Amino acid sequence: MFSNSQEQTIEIAKQFASTLKGGEVVCLYGNLGAGKTMFMKGIAEYFGIDKDEIISPTFIIANHLKCLGTINCTPTNIKNIIHIDAYRIEDEDNMLETGVLEYFGDKNSIVFIEWSTKINSYIPADNKKEIYFNIVGENERDINIK
């Protein structure tokens, strides 16, 4: 998919969010500034979470967002959106200390991970989805969902 703006990236994210059932681990790949956090704003908006709450969790490692019971949460019983940024993880065993690994595979949660290659051994292969962000121009992004 091709995005010409931040607003379009948010819309692509909302379309993607509509396909999620719970239990997924979504790995977000791309350089700094490629659109991963903007994509997360669209995910949040779809699930009734204020998109302004979404910031890159680089320094805090993980944001735990509560789904607010909107119509988009209810059919699938999704209660938690976990947004992890593993950029600062030096040793993947440090992820154990965060407590977020308990959400992997939880049918009431969806986990999104930026810089997931740093914690690959913890990511379950089943129900894993991958999204690649490529910078094409100042506002243009190529977003490849697998």
Domain ranges of the chain: 2-145
Cα-Cα end-to-end distance for the chain: 11
List pLDDT tens digits, range 3-33.
999 999 999 999 999 999 899 999 999 998 8
pLDDT at 59 over 80: no
pTM of the model: 0.85
Homologous superfamily (CATH) of 2-145 is P-loop containing nucleotide triphosphate hydrolases (3.40.50.300)
Region of 4 on the Ramachandran plot (φ > 0 left; ψ -120 to 50 alpha; else beta): alpha
pLDDT bracket for residue 117 (50, 70, 90):
confident
